[in-house]
Structure 1
Amino acid sequence: MRTIGLIGGMSWESSAEYYRIINQETNRRLGGVHSAQCLMWSADFDEIKRLQHEGEWGRLGEEMKAAARRLERGGADFIVLCTNTMHRLADAISSAVNIPLLHIADPTADKIRAAGIERIGLLGTAFTMEHDFYKGRLQQHHGLDVIVPDESDRRIVHEIIYKELVLGIVRQESRQAYREVIARLIERGAQGIILGCTEIMLLVSDEDSAVPLFDTTTIHAVAAVDFALRSE
């Protein structure tokens, strides 16, 4: 079993889900009282959030590289970054260590392609929906047609993440708002929806959408178990 190195705390709400899913999936496959071999470096999200909104991506990159190095020194065999947004810094993280980074977009795209879907809607933070680091990888590496909500809907999705979900607040009014955003993406031809922020799975589930939802938290966590248990 390989040791999983988790960079978490962004937010701890979703990082707790990663830890739960990884260990439950490991136990499901191996039985008995097996659990995953893993290490986690958990950031203080208040500082991360501030730097994100101030556009200080260089400083954030240094923070993420330092976290990855700590995990490598601790014995991790590969890195799992427990957040979609911070994959903007995936290349910087990979360059800082000699162990692989399991990119969240790749197993997500594999699931989408396996479902026969080509046009996919993307929900996430404004950084994920508006910048190219995530959409571009899905388009260029996996041939997917990615669409995002319009400006007003992007604002709704982003604010609910940062004002509620990262704090563990789940409101029915916010669930309804997400349902309406999803419905508008479907009207534009989305055949499925990526829950491209690791907290969104706390708010919406399959019953909230007329098309398949792709929960990146679960997909990424299960992919980590796949890699950890893969034969050498």
Structure 2
Amino acid sequence: MKHIGIVDITTAGACLCANEIVAQSAKITLSKKHPEFTMHAFSYDQYYDLIHRKDWINLAKKICESIELLSKVGADFIIIPSNTPHYAIEMIDQNSPLPVISLIDIVTDECHRKGYKKVLVLGTKQTMQGGLYDEVLKAKNILSIIPTDDVCDKIENLIRNEIIPSKINSMTVENIQKDIEKYDCDAIILGCTELPIVYDENNLGKPVVDTTRLLAHYALQFATENDH
């Protein structure tokens, strides 16, 4: 099996992704066998500052520093279980010594495969209002819907101030859930790798594209190709 390198931007999302790799491998192999993986994280404040300033050039450099370290410990390819940093994916690809799987491409392909025509995109304000998914979805003839400013603010607060620091308030989760239910869409992209911690198709009442687990499943497939 190939060795998976995980760039940990937010540990909540990265650990959920890593755990899903192990869990899904157990389902497929019916054993305790799973690919080797190594995770590296700089302090979250370093990433947050660059993302807040939309400094994609230096964010790409910081992520490539992680990739260099992961390369030295034997990683064969890289996943980044965080949506917003994919604004820098082209620069990361150009400077990475290892192949990097694009989360955005995987999610878009999944929406297209399932025949969705209109999807609600949830995530950080940067992801939602900056149009991270807009063009790639449009290229597949899929319309992306973005929540209103006030709902975007609520989701941003939930992610930054509750989920990431593990201070989740159930009332916050439920209030946002009621906002989300008002939107007419075929499916909902959980475009922040922390959101599956609190939302799924059961409490949202519509199909969801879980970007965290989708990336984990793709990484597992890639890691086990040609595995004998």
Aligned partner of 2:125 in structure 1 is 126
Q: CA deviation at 1:161?
A: 0.7
Residue 167 of structure 2: aligned partner: 169
CA distance in 1, matches of 2:56, 2:153: 21
> In 1, are the aligned partners of 2:108 and 2:136 still within 8 Å (CA)?
no
Q: Is the 8 Å Cα contact of residues 123 and 148 (structure 1) preserved in structure 2?
A: yes
* Aligned AA (1:128): T
In structure 1, C-alpha distance between the alignment counterparts of 2:203 and 2:220, rounded to whole Å: 28
217-226 or 50-59: bigger deviation: 50-59
- The 3-state SS of whatever aligns with 2:164 is helix
Give the corresponding residue for 1:213: 208
Matched, 1:150 2:145: no
Instruction: Give the SS at the match of 2:133.
Output: helix
Alignment of 1:1-232 (within 5 A): 1-8=1-8, 10-140=9-139, 142-186=140-184, 190-231=185-226
Deviation at 1:205, TM superposition (A): 2.0
Task: Give, in whole Å, the separation in 2 of the partners of 1:52 and 1:172.
Answer: 27
* Paired letter, 2:2: R
For residue 125 of structure 2, what is the amino acid of its counterpart?
A
> In the aligned structure 2, how far is the partner of 1:48 from the partner of 1:96?
18
Deviation, structure 1 residue 214 = 1.2
Where does the alignment leave 5 or more consecutive residues of structure 2 unmatched?
Answer: none
Deviation at 1:184, TM superposition (A): 2.5
1:97-135: per-residue Cα shift (whole Å, max 9, x none)?
243211112222233223221111100001111123332
Deviations 1:168-194 (A, max 9, x none): 2222212112212312322xxx11100
Preserved CA contact (<8 Å) 1:126 1:154: yes
Q: Is the 8 A contact 1:68 1:96 kept in 2?
A: no
Q: Which moved more, 1:30-39 or 1:222-231?
A: 30-39
Q: 1:57 and 1:227 mapped to 2: Cα distance? A: 27
| CA-CA distance at 1:217 after TM superposition | 0.6
* C-alpha separation in 2, matches of 1:4 and 1:109: 22
Aligned-residue Cα RMSD (Å) equals 1.7
Q: Which amino acid aligns with 1:6?
A: I
Contact 1:123–1:195 under 8 Å retained in 2: yes
Give the Cα separation in 1 of the matches to 2:138 and 2:123: 17
2:158 and 2:173 in contact (8 A); partners too: no
Q: Which amino acid aligns with 1:203?
A: V
Please give the alpha-carbon distance, in whole angstroms, between the structure 1 residues aligned to 2:56 and 2:101: 20
Aligned letter for 1:30? T
Asked if the contact 1:88/1:134 (under 8 Å) is kept, the reply is no
Moved over 6 A (4+): none
Quick one: distance in 2 between partners of 1:210 and 1:71? 39
Tell me the distance in 1 between the aligned counterparts of 2:58 and 2:109. Answer: 32
Counterpart CA distance in 2 for 1:182 and 1:213 is 12
> Aligned to 1:167, what secondary structure does the other structure show?
coil
Give the 3-state SS of the residue equivalent to 2:54 in structure 1.
coil
Is the 2:120–2:183 contact (alpha carbons within 8 Å) kept by the matching residues of 1? yes
CA contact (8 A) 2:125 2:156 kept: yes
Check whether the contact 2:67–2:98 (CA below 8 A) recurs between aligned residues: no
